[in-house]
Chains A and B, each alone.
Chain A
């Protein structure tokens, strides 16, 4: 279940390291990557994940790997289906990171997931790397770098870090007012 790992990771780090802090950025990043795997990857093993907190660098470090189609292949399959020209692996990953771009593997997909992930990583002063097929895209506060790897990676590996010093205080629930849109 997508929420189980995300819930447990958030609660574990809050309870043991960051009582009173809001670890929602970590929770949302995990759920966005997991949903991306389940919606698009078609991976025979779903995926593997590890999250750790480094006290020395005060960063959360997460890696998620699946053995599915790979983001670039999924994007190019969508481009072909919609009559567009194919792009190289790094360009495909950059497309996937754009808000509102979706490969539409599922009807509800709207292209918010990976954009949300990269936005949170940037807000939290972290780094994001995506490796699939020959693509290796890396985003950090200095910008974006693209490498073409010599070996093709089956599936997709997403790693991201979040700076714990950017965590905000946990808000209290408002119990005496109604939020009106």
Chain B
């Protein structure tokens, strides 16, 4: 399943948009489907956006479920790495 992030959010700065991404990803992650998330046009994220999307997924399903169920396409390397760093750090803190 491929999902283009910017089709579902207005931006990547607010909690509200993070929550929208969470709602897009929650069922596939819960059902152990693999999601390819296209970051076409995405330049970066606020920590609030990351908390409300990936952070919330990690809180509910654990870091391994998010790592194994998520792939990225059309990404800028530093942007993809910022998600990877967030998942690493949040995975250590969120139980």
Tally of contact residues, B, Cβ under 8 A: 41
Question: What string of 1s and 0s marks CB contacts (under 8 Å) between B80-94 and chain A?
Answer: 100010010010010
Complex contact B75–A173 (CB within 8 A):
yes
Q: If A173-B74, A173-B76 touch, does A3 touch B14 (CB 8 Å cutoff)?
A: yes
Residue of A whose beta carbon sits closest to that of B66 = A181
Contact among B10, B51, B66, B73 with A109 in the assembled complex (CB-CB below 8 Å): B51
Q: How many residues of A contact B (CB 8 A)?
A: 35
Determine if A181 and B12 form an interchain contact, defined as CB atoms under 8 angstroms apart.
no
Instruction: Tell me whether A24 and B77 are in contact in the complex, defined as CB-CB below 8 angstroms, given that A110-B55, A178-B71, A179-B71 are known contacts.
Output: no
**B46 touches which one: A1, A4, A35, A173 (CB < 8 A)?**
A35
Tally of A-B residue pairs with Cβ under 8 A? 104
CB distance B51 to A112 under 8 Å?
A: yes
**Minimum C-beta distance from B89 to chain A (A):** 8
Q: Write the nearest CB–CB distance from B59 to chain A, whole angstroms.
A: 9
**Chain A residues whose C-beta falls within 8 Å of the C-beta of B15 in the assembled complex:** 35, 39, 106, 108
Contact with A along B1-43 (1 / 0, CB 8 A): 0000000001111110110000000000000000010011001
Instruction: Let me know if A140 is at the binding interface, CB within 8 A.
Output: no
B52 to chain A, nearest CB (A): 5
The complex places the Cα of A116 from the Cα of B52 at a distance, in Å, of 16
Give B38 Cβ to nearest chain A Cβ, in Å: 10
